[in-house]
Amino acid sequence: MNEKKVRVGIIGCGIVAGSHVSGYLKSGMAEIIALSDSRVERAKALAEKYSLPRVGIYENYEDLLKDRNIDAVSICTPHHLHAEITVKAAEQGKHVLCEKPIAISLKQADEMIRACRRNEVKLAVVFQNRFSPDVQRVKKEFERGDFGIPIYGEAVVKWYREDKSYYHMDDVAKSWRGKWSTEGGGALINQTIHLVDMLQWIMGPVEYLYGIYDTMMHNIETEDIAVSILKFKNGAIGFILGSVNLQPQEDWVAIYGSKKSIVIGSDKMVAKEWDEKSGTRVRSVEERKETLTPFIGHDDAVRDFLEAIVLDRAPAVPGEEARKSLEIVLAIYKSHRTGGRVTLPIVE
Ligand SMILES: NC(=O)c1ccc[n+]([C@@H]2O[C@H](COP(=O)([O-])OP(=O)(O)OC[C@H]3O[C@@H](n4cnc5c(N)ncnc54)[C@H](O)[C@@H]3O)[C@@H](O)[C@H]2O)c1
């Protein structure tokens, strides 16, 4: 592998940015040379936290993009800015690692994909759970036909986010969270999309769905609870529940076939597996640390992005892949608004 380090800039220095910094530092393949945040004190604080004294600090991300020394950028800003920043980064010849969701509309996602193709730069989107060895194993087994006839797939996110300490935590949170124009949705597009991505990655495309949502516990515009029933193209039926209102918190992706099924969730619960030869196996939380860990950090996603650049190969989760979970989420919103079945692909 080429010894030259990839020179990176990070745009948006809030909660998630630290996971990117730490991933780049651990990779040994990158040098972080610039940070940008419209609240410049956040960029400075991040530089201090990770001891990056020589890093360039930019209030305006467009100035960061003009730096010819930068090969690649991580985009860790609010959702509505992902598209604008990606397109401008691509035009400056920078590779892009964008946080999920790829964007808040399919039109935006398509512009991002086109801009990166046109400028021959990589576009990778962070869906870190796809790098979990267990999620990869389930995907492989499903594709190999080990599950038999696909019957049912489920993504359940019962999470809790407090109105005050999450949506209204500070001026930055208030400026974008819980608004259709900036977050693009609520519990579905932000939190549940991780599991929607895993569900569709394993089960394949959705043919049609029905959805409803509501805002019950938060002083926000967007939904804090949503449910969808869906039909996959492979014939299976599916269910999605996404909420930031529910305690005790738990989550899982469950895949059921005629020969095998699996339920995997976060480390708060056990994992269950069944197959026609061995019957049901329940793995404890302790065992799962070794064997079933679907929810993992950013390191592998960052490393994959860097390898995609250095080896000039496609990233594991390119823009086209990240668009799929966005389309399902937007279809659920559309079904709620129209009161009926939404067949994919959707036209916005
Ligand atoms: N993959 C994951 O597990 C994961 C976890 C958390 C967040 N995220 C995603 O990361 C992104 C950011 O989320 P967060 O929780 O860190 O949000 P945040 O509000 O904590 O941080 C966003 C930062 O972007 C900055 N910003 C806003 N406008 C900007 C601009 N024009 N130029 C530069 N900076 C600007 C804000 O000042 C803020 O510091 C979102 O897309 C979110 O969905 C992903």
Distance between CA atoms of 338 and 329, rounded to whole angstroms? Answer: 14
Q: What is the pLDDT of residue 134?
A: 81
Q: Is 317 in the pocket of ligand 1 (CB under 6 A)?
A: no
Domain CATH code at residue 149: 3.30.360.10
Number of domains observed in the structure of the chain: 2
Residue bearing the CA closest to ligand 1, atom 31: 38
> Is residue 92 within 8 Å of residue 29, measured between CB atoms?
no
Query: Residues 281, 306: one domain?
Result: no
Q: What is the pLDDT of residue 269?
A: 46
Q: Quick one: how far is CA 61 from the chain centroid?
A: 22
Q: What is the pLDDT of residue 1?
A: 46
- Ligand 1: which of 37, 75, 97 to mutate, judged by most atoms within 8 Å of the beta carbon? 37
Instruction: DSSP for 195-211, please give it.
Output: HHHHHHHHH--EEEEEE
* 3-class SS of residue 162: coil
> Is residue 290 within 8 Å of residue 149, measured between CB atoms?
no
Judge whether 249 lies within some domain: yes
CA of 201 to the centre of ligand 1 (A): 25
CA of 75 to the centre of ligand 1 (A): 8
Q: What is the pLDDT of residue 270?
A: 54
Domain span at 238 = 129-296+326-343
**Vertex 12, ends 173 and 8: CA angle to 5°?**
165
- Ligand 1: which of 57, 62, 76 to mutate, judged by most atoms within 8 Å of the beta carbon? 76
Which helix (H) or strand (E) is 336 found in, with range? helix 319-338
Instruction: Report the DSSP beta bridge partners of residue 150.
Output: 257
Q: Is 12 in the pocket of ligand 1 (CB under 6 A)?
A: yes
Query: Residues 178, 109: one domain?
Result: no
Residue tagged 């030259």 (tokens): 4
Pick the closest to residue 221 from 179, 256, 263, 251 (CA basis).
179
CA distances from 325 to 25, 72, 204, 265, 304 (A): 29, 24, 11, 18, 20
User: Which residues, in sequence order, are CB contacts of 140 under 8 Å at separation 6+?
Assistant: none
Question: For residue 334, what are its two tokens?
Answer: 């559309």
Residue bearing the CA closest to ligand 1, atom 27: 77
Query: Residues 10, 147: one domain?
Result: no
> Is residue 94 within 8 Å of residue 75, measured between CB atoms?
no
pLDDT tens for the chain, 348 residues: list them.
Answer: 446 899 999 999 999 999 999 999 999 999 999 999 999 999 999 999 999 989 999 999 999 999 999 999 999 999 999 999 999 999 999 999 999 999 999 999 999 999 999 999 999 999 999 998 888 989 999 999 999 999 999 999 999 999 999 999 999 999 999 999 999 999 999 999 999 999 999 999 999 999 999 999 999 999 999 999 999 999 999 999 999 999 988 899 999 999 999 988 875 445 678 889 888 877 665 565 544 455 678 999 999 999 999 999 999 999 999 999 999 999 999 999 999 999 999 987
Query: Residues 93, 236: one domain?
Result: no
Question: For residue 7, what are its two tokens?
Answer: 């020179």
CA distances from 222 to 17, 76, 183, 209 (A): 24, 21, 8, 20
Query: Residues 311, 338: one domain?
Result: no
Judge whether 104 lies within some domain: yes
Judge whether 348 lies within some domain: no
Query: Residues 148, 281: one domain?
Result: yes
Judge whether 321 lies within some domain: no
Helix, strand, coil % in the chain, rounded to nearest 5: 40, 25, 35
Query: Residues 238, 150: one domain?
Result: yes
Q: From the CB of residue 338, how many other CB atoms can be counted at a distance below 10 Å?
A: 10
CA of 182 to the centre of ligand 1 (A): 11
Pick the closest to residue 240 from 230, 249, 232 (CA basis).
230
Domain CATH code at residue 105: 3.40.50.720
Q: What is the pLDDT of residue 268?
A: 43
> Is residue 198 within 8 Å of residue 134, measured between CB atoms?
no
- Ligand 1: which of 40, 64, 99 to mutate, judged by most atoms within 8 Å of the beta carbon? 99
Quote the pTM value: 0.96
Distance between CA atoms of 323 and 326, rounded to whole angstroms? Answer: 5
Query: Residues 118, 163: one domain?
Result: no
- For residues 310, 313, 315, 321, the Cα torsion angle rounded to the nearest 10 degrees is 160
Q: What is the pLDDT of residue 278?
A: 85
